[in-house]
Structure 1
Amino acid sequence: MKRQILLLCTALLYTYAFAQPGTNKVTVANGTLQGTFNNATNIHSFKGIPYALPPVGDLRWKEPQPPANWTGIRNADHFSHMPMQKRVFTDMIFRADTMSEDCLYLNVWTPAKTGKEKLPVLVYFYGGGFSAGDGSEARYDGESMAQKGIVTITINYRLGIFGFFSHPGLTAESAHHASGNYGLLDQTAALKWAKANVAAFGGDPDKITIAGESAGSIAVSAQMISPLSRNLIAGAIGESGAMINPTLPAIPQADGEKNGVAFGEKNNAKLLADLRAMTASQLLDAASKPGAWRLAATIDGYFLPKSPAEIFIAGEQAHVPLLVGWNSAEIPYQAFTGGDMPTPENYAKKVKQQYPNDADEVLKLYPGATQDEVIKSSTALASDRFIAYSTWKWADLHSQTGGSPVYRYLFSTPRPPEVKPSLNKSPLPPVMVGASHASEIEFAMGNLPYDKVYAWTPDDYKVSTTMQGYFANFIKTGNPNGKGLPKWEPNTKGSPVKFMNIDVNTKLQPESDRGRYLFLDKIYTK
């Protein structure tokens, strides 16, 4: 009876918080938040919400701990500290103005008016190779998705040496005898926070979809298979990347520990106390030196009981709908050909160097009889080796063992020219023959207006309307189809494989490149 009264009081408190015009207050488990309200869009936002204790001091390289309670009203009108990182990617534009090891915060956008709506929820993980990124980036902004009737959350998680450092000492002090997956455990903690608190923002805790791009997509695949998180989600969206060889695959914990020991020895810090005594800046600088340390998640027996591919093969992942795909030109052809001119002769030579026993098969699958064909095939091969194959493997395995529909896409819209072309660029920039890595994010999240770099056209906005429409429908129902959109047929076990080619003229197409991925499958699953 006491529990029922407590739940009723809590529900009334949430309703009261949203019912006060102009207050923008919401009460969560740890205290009351004061957010902001956009009169133009009717969206509430709450930024910089702590979902765990600051992972500093003795909490460096420990599983995230529940956040502390606060008294009074906590101001939630600005982004918190971004995680520790170097300036790795020039396309990352952060709105947070500080960087700190104290980075475990999240941001919420909601269209709710009463707190009782039970709206679908999106939790988005940023990309950046697990070495860079932040939930404040404008391309991930949640306001546009919130206008679609979705409570949207972006989170910060630990990166690089702070998020993926394994060491025998850390394993020994862990209650789970595990070390190395702190950034992934941060994401799980954020999901648990959402499960416990999103109702206060009008969200449905039983309707949480996770999504992410690149490393964020890799993280989505990992959260789908972890016993710690797979029961927290109702759906998953992956944009270019899965934790499957050769794309940032998880390594045995023993190998991660060896990497950690070697790093400590290089820095005269053999003991954990010595490593924890280093300042965040010292640690970041040391780990950023070439060859200093290898970043990889670990098969730790806790977050990851075995390799991701093994878990998908066994059908032990979350049995939820999956929307997943990649871009038509993830990386330029030079990633395969190097500095050589893209002639048929140079291309054939490079293929024979890379695949001495399979060159003829590779040249059939990725032909190069003319320069244009070489550029196209080199782009495809480089992109497949980089990230497309692993994403394909994820989609293929889940369609076979996940017991749920898989909606696969190819994003094919190239970015338009820049508004003001940079004067600092190389005189010979990489040649792109399609949509490059990460270029779909603004389209999918409805955030083209935030990116002032490119001269977006009406066709770009058309593509964005289509792609965001698919994403929003999927988040709401587990099915991307809806009024005004080309019909998207799912892939399930035994069904013909089809994918949605998202472009100015979006259309469903039968899979045509399976031979490429089956060939790579033989190489990467040895």
Structure 2
Amino acid sequence: MKSRQILTFFTITILLSISSLVKGQLPQVKVKNGILEGKVEKSGVRSYKGIPFAKAPLGSLRWEEPQPAENWSGVRQAHEFGHNPMQGKPFGDMRFRSSDMSEDCLYLNVWSPANSSEKLLPVLVYFYGGGYVAGDGSEGRYDGENMARKGIVTLTVNYRLGVFGFFAHPDLTKASKHGGSGNYGLLDQHAALKWVQENIAAFGGDPSRVTIAGESAGSISVSAQMASPLSKNLIAAAIGESGAMIHPTLAPLSQQQAEQNGERFAAKVKANSLSALREIPANDLLRLSSEAGAFKTSANVDGYFFPKTPAAIFAAGEQAQVPLLAGWNSAEVPYGAFLWAENPNPENYKKRVTQEYPEQWQQVLKLYPGNNVAEVVESATALASDRFINYSTWKWLDLHRKTSKQPVYRYLFSKEQPPFKPGFEKKQPVGTEQPAPFKGAPHAFEIEYAMGNLHSNPEYAWTPEDKKVSSVMLNYFANFIKTGNPNGKDLPTWDAVGIAGQMMLMNLGVPTKQEKETNLTHQRYLFLDKQYLN
């Protein structure tokens, strides 16, 4: 073992010397498949974009687990982002820097610190969000440059989406050597983690110190990779921003349900064989699968990536035994997500609560009271957010602290949105009622703060307060990636949540301060826990 470590050290020293910069020369590294040429950013950080980590999933490889990337000869330029995955781009806050969309999308991007070091550095692998139907590793808010400036080799990873990434079918299951089908997007992420183990040392990264992180579907992916027996030994720590693969948040279907979903879609598009399905042009397949009710995007318990549900795996203590840092935002979705088109008054709120909880409506109104408009707005926002994504994240944290001896850290991101820049104001349609003011931090709003990328979002007039919260959050995350503990110099003390009772949490806002979960919040999650039976 010692000789192997010595060999690795000298190998990396040679590689780092090869990639060291001479004035005017672009950096190069040698990975398993060939030599890559990157770029040097203004900060000195070296970036390598559009690196294939698996073979393009085209033709007969559509709906196959990712295959090893092909070798190339000569020097491959890694200056531009690879294709973004096939998707309908339903979310207006996504700004891709990739040039186009394709099934040929299995690329990753690496940012490595400017200064070479004899000591291998910690690694961050970030999975994007988008509900498994949208997203791309090229988004500016995920950019790894500022994390690399903290001494962390940082990656963003593409994975297949929608029908391309989650289509299950009995014929695919029969053809699989593992006896399962449908989890191709998750298997793409797993393949990227294996690529990291084989190649990240060439960029100065330590394959034994890999933290995985993500937001929304990316956070859900983190929980999935922690649960999967395929990936759990490839990671050293995990960060989740809003979401876990636990009911009701994108929980996996049974294999039978997923296969039936695939059969219904095949019948809808009049394809009576896998070959016929694979012959459908990618743009047509995307259009057909995007029609209302045509296809349900979901992972499934396939017996390979998932031997059982993630919740069951965590409950049994069979997940990756690593430090976990996770949390959510103070107003993930607005009150309208629960009230629909109704005005936020006590009468409408009570009516909706009674509809949703006919036998427990009185208990719900105690936990989420609505005696006036302001209280309705606050409680309906909290209830909608808890049902959407907060509860699943809480359950993930709760299970991991009970079945792991590793530290668990919880946060609440509460920094409200700053003013819009001129020209980016959201205008209310003429003739419609002005909604109640939105308070709190909405879903996905923390990403730019966590990764130090406020500048990537042109909509907001960022204030000194925003920049301070971003600096604090970035440093907490960087410390956790380096040590498994977010605490560090000039930061408020952040305690692990503990084994029992209400959780401690770090409220990332103005000001940032540590708090104890309120009894009301605790009782809310205990109530929802009984409803969802995870």
1:424 and 1:497 mapped to 2: Cα distance?
37
- In the alignment, what sits opposite 2:300? 298
- 120-129 or 10-19: which moved more? 10-19
Q: 1:476 to 1:12 in 2, by over 3 A?
A: closer
2:139 and 2:245 mapped to 1: Cα distance?
23
Q: Aligned pair 1:478/2:481, yes or no?
A: no
Structure 2: state its 5+ residue gaps. none
Q: Aligned pair 1:278/2:280, yes or no?
A: yes
1:389-438: per-residue Cα shift (whole Å, max 9, x none)?
00000011101112211100000011112113447744346842200000
1:169-217: per-residue Cα shift (whole Å, max 9, x none)?
1101100001010000000000110111110001110000000000000
- In the alignment, what sits opposite 1:117? 119
Q: Aligned pair 1:397/2:435, yes or no?
A: no
SS at match of 2:244: coil
2:486 and 2:411 mapped to 1: Cα distance?
11
1:342 to 325, 341, 344: 344
Q: Aligned pair 1:154/2:185, yes or no?
A: no
1:188 to 179, 187, 190: 190
- In the alignment, what sits opposite 1:19? 20
2:37 to 34, 37, 52: 34
Answer yes or no: is the 8 Å Cα contact 1:334–1:430 preserved in 2: no
- In the alignment, what sits opposite 2:103? 101
Answer yes or no: is the 8 Å Cα contact 2:114–2:149 preserved in 1: no
Q: 1:468 to 1:424 in 2, by over 3 A?
A: closer
1:419 and 1:71 mapped to 2: Cα distance?
48
- Offset at residue 3 of structure 1 (A): 8.5
Q: Aligned pair 1:518/2:526, yes or no?
A: yes
- Offset at residue 281 of structure 1 (A): 0.5
Answer yes or no: is the 8 Å Cα contact 1:127–1:217 preserved in 2: yes
- In the alignment, what sits opposite 1:316? 318
1:467 to 473, 478, 488: 473
Percentage of identical aligned residues:
59
SS at match of 1:491: coil
Q: 1:456 to 1:20 in 2, by over 3 A?
A: closer
Aligned length: 525
1:296 and 1:430 mapped to 2: Cα distance?
34
- In the alignment, what sits opposite 1:445? 451
- In the alignment, what sits opposite 1:210? 212
- In the alignment, what sits opposite 2:441? 435
State the one-letter code of the partner of 1:524: Y
How big is the alpha-carbon RMSD for the aligned residues of Structure 1 and Structure 2? 1.8
- In the alignment, what sits opposite 1:88? 90
Please list, as runs of the form range in 1=range in 2, the aligned pairs for 1:50-65 lying within 5 A after superposition.
Answer: 50-65=52-67
- Offset at residue 378 of structure 1 (A): 0.3
- Offset at residue 266 of structure 1 (A): 0.5
- Offset at residue 341 of structure 1 (A): 1.4
2:10 and 2:379 mapped to 1: Cα distance?
62
1:293 and 1:120 mapped to 2: Cα distance?
39
1:430 and 1:109 mapped to 2: Cα distance?
42
2:510 to 504, 508, 517: 504
Q: Aligned pair 1:492/2:498, yes or no?
A: yes
Q: 1:13 to 1:419 in 2, by over 3 A?
A: same
SS at match of 1:420: coil
Answer yes or no: is the 8 Å Cα contact 1:35–1:44 preserved in 2: yes
1:394 and 1:53 mapped to 2: Cα distance?
33
1:9 and 1:370 mapped to 2: Cα distance?
68
1:36 and 1:286 mapped to 2: Cα distance?
39
Q: 1:437 to 1:16 in 2, by over 3 A?
A: same
1:304 and 1:116 mapped to 2: Cα distance?
38
Alignment TM-score, normalising by the size of structure 2: 0.96
- Offset at residue 6 of structure 1 (A): 7.9
- In the alignment, what sits opposite 1:75? 77
SS at match of 1:231: helix
State the one-letter code of the partner of 2:472: T
- In the alignment, what sits opposite 1:375? 377
SS at match of 1:103: coil
Q: Aligned pair 1:325/2:297, yes or no?
A: no
State the one-letter code of the partner of 1:203: G
Answer yes or no: is the 8 Å Cα contact 1:400–1:492 preserved in 2: no
- In the alignment, what sits opposite 2:201? 199
- 418-427 or 72-81: which moved more? 418-427
2:300 and 2:176 mapped to 1: Cα distance?
14
Alignment TM-score, normalising by the size of structure 1: 0.97
Answer yes or no: is the 8 Å Cα contact 2:29–2:202 preserved in 1: yes
2:7 and 2:481 mapped to 1: Cα distance?
31
State the one-letter code of the partner of 2:31: V
Q: 1:346 to 1:315 in 2, by over 3 A?
A: same
SS at match of 1:49: strand
2:246 and 2:482 mapped to 1: Cα distance?
28
Answer yes or no: is the 8 Å Cα contact 1:18–1:115 preserved in 2: no
State the one-letter code of the partner of 1:391: T
2:84 and 2:302 mapped to 1: Cα distance?
27
Answer yes or no: is the 8 Å Cα contact 2:326–2:397 preserved in 1: yes
State the one-letter code of the partner of 2:16: T
2:117 and 2:485 mapped to 1: Cα distance?
25
State the one-letter code of the partner of 1:519: F
SS at match of 2:233: coil
State the one-letter code of the partner of 2:12: A
1:8 and 1:241 mapped to 2: Cα distance?
38
State the one-letter code of the partner of 2:200: V
Q: 1:422 to 1:134 in 2, by over 3 A?
A: same
- In the alignment, what sits opposite 2:267? 265
SS at match of 1:221: helix
SS at match of 2:30: strand
1:152 and 1:372 mapped to 2: Cα distance?
43
Answer yes or no: is the 8 Å Cα contact 2:377–2:436 preserved in 1: no
SS at match of 1:312: helix
- In the alignment, what sits opposite 2:386? 384
- Offset at residue 492 of structure 1 (A): 3.1
State the one-letter code of the partner of 1:337: L
- In the alignment, what sits opposite 1:46? 48
State the one-letter code of the partner of 1:451: N
